[in-house]
Amino acid sequence: MEIKHLKTVAALADQGSLAAAALSLSLTQSALSHQLKELEGRLGCELYLRKSRPLTFTAAGELVLHLARSVLPQLASTEKQLAALQAGHSGKLHLALDCHSCIHWLLPLLPAFRQRWPGIELEVESVPGFDTVAALLGGQLDLLLTSDVQARGDLHFEPLFDFPLELVMAPDHPLARQECIAPTDLAGEVLLTYPVERARMDVFSRFLQPAGAEPGRCKVVDNTSVMLQMAAAGLGVAALPAWASSEFVRQGLLAARPLGNGITRHMYAAVRAADRQQGALQGLFALIRASHGAPPMFHPT
């Protein structure tokens, strides 16, 4: 049986005649009669008594009607939920951050997101310890905020904004007297770093390693706020996105200087390609862009 058959049997029961049922379904009486005969041929039994007034179902017809009364409301409810999900009015959005300091600018945006999309259950995971790409493709994760792009057709990387990477230090640190920082300037410094491999830290992959330079030593700190306070206290220096230290710099608690001629990174939202147009995702993208100024004109490669 097909959905159209269930709708036909339900219409017959509701309207009480073949003619009225055909009218309610926007079909001709002949087309509806043909559809019923086809269904009865498939099932091998009659569904209603011809020429009965009022229309009377056979035992087989009653069974099919019971099925229609059960299935059609569930189908309508599911279609409504799917439409709301696609429009972004309901559902769950599980996002993860591939960046320790992203939480500082993301959390202030969430109240506005919840106000605009109250039907979305939002779950945020900071720097997850699992394979985020596999989680995206497997449906355990819906969005990943990251600076790393992977060229693959099943994922879409939405460009959000660009940002500079800076070295932050105490205002009275000798390096604060320089206009910019050279790789060799870190040779005698304690570099505060996150607990991730060097290959994933821009200060190494984009600044120190290309110049064959090394910091005096590294000290691992797993919290951005603690890292900023340690730098302000003169216990080390740290390479961070500008947004992470801007408030400390504004208050005069830290000094920030560009690395070399300037290192610019791009922030992307990685989502499944099939979901990229979902309303809630597009709404979140718009909020992020607005909070960082005009959207940048670049594209992932």
Per-residue pLDDT of 121-154, as tens digits, reads: 888 887 766 788 888 888 889 999 998 888 778 9
Residue 90 confidence (pLDDT) above 50: yes
Residue 119 confidence (pLDDT) above 90: no
Q: Tell me what pLDDT residue 85 has.
A: 58
Q: Tell me what pLDDT residue 210 has.
A: 95
Q: Tell me what pLDDT residue 167 has.
A: 97
| β-strand pairing of 217-220 with 48-49 | unpaired
Cα torsion 257, 263, 264, 270: sign: negative
More confident residue, 252 or 126: 252
Region 27-38 average pLDDT: 90
Token duo for residue 124: 């945020």
Q: Is the pTM of this model over 0.75?
A: no
| β-strand pairing of 255-272 with 143-146 | antiparallel
Compute CA distances 48 → 17, 34, 65, 69, 266, whole Å.
Answer: 11, 14, 11, 17, 67
Q: Tell me what pLDDT residue 83 has.
A: 64
Q: Tell me what pLDDT residue 172 has.
A: 96
Q: Tell me what pLDDT residue 88 has.
A: 54
Q: Each residue of 157-200: pLDDT tens digit?
A: 999 999 999 999 999 999 999 999 999 999 999 999 999 889 88
Question: Residue for token digits 């709404």?
Answer: 283
Contact 241, 105 (CB under 8 A): no
Query: Could you give the CA distance from residue 169 to residue 8 in angstroms, rounded to a whole number?
Result: 75
Region 217-233 average pLDDT: 95
Amino acid at residue number 197:
E
Q: Tell me what pLDDT residue 294 has.
A: 43
Token duo for residue 153: 């057709």
Q: Tell me what pLDDT residue 245 has.
A: 92
Whole-number percent of the chain with pLDDT over 90: 51
